[in-house]
Amino acid sequence: AHPAEAQWVTNQHDRWGSCTPADRSIRLSARLRELPQWVADYVLVHDLAHLLEPGHGPAFWQLVQRYPKTERARGYLEGVAAGAGLSTTDAEPEGEAAEPASEPALEQQDTAAAACGRDEHGCAAPGAQDALW
């Protein structure tokens, strides 16, 4: 998958990254720079996978699982969220075991995600504009 652009942003406080499939753009939270590179790589892999599979179905997770440190990175991000006192999503993605907050996503409230057109993982619906992820 080839994004049209990928950039570091400082306005994502509840998410590790975001992807807008409609314009093929990816934004990564600058907070990732403080974490191990393999964790930032995982967030990028997650968002790149959304360029091929917009939802969190089995095909999406098959793509993401190709990154060998997926489970380790997801656990790391859940630990960071727990240490910061933020809630993580425990919902099970379609056809998969529970995932971290989008995973990469730190969700303070699942209802906030739904209110802005996002699924339980903090990802935008296909074609939706991302304000945060």
pLDDT one digit per residue (tens) for the chain, 133 residues:
789 999 999 998 889 999 999 999 999 999 999 999 999 999 999 999 999 998 899 999 999 999 999 999 999 999 998 998 876 653 333 333 333 334 444 433 333 333 334 444 445 444 443 332 3
Distance CA 28, CA 117 (A): 19
* Domain assignment present for 30: yes
Indicate the pTM of the whole model: 0.67
Q: Quick one: pLDDT at residue 109?
A: 31
* Domain assignment present for 124: no
* Domain assignment present for 133: no
* Domain assignment present for 130: no
Number of domain units in the chain: 1
* Domain assignment present for 132: no
Range of the domain at 35: 5-115
Q: What is the CATH number of the domain that holds 61?
A: 3.30.2010.10
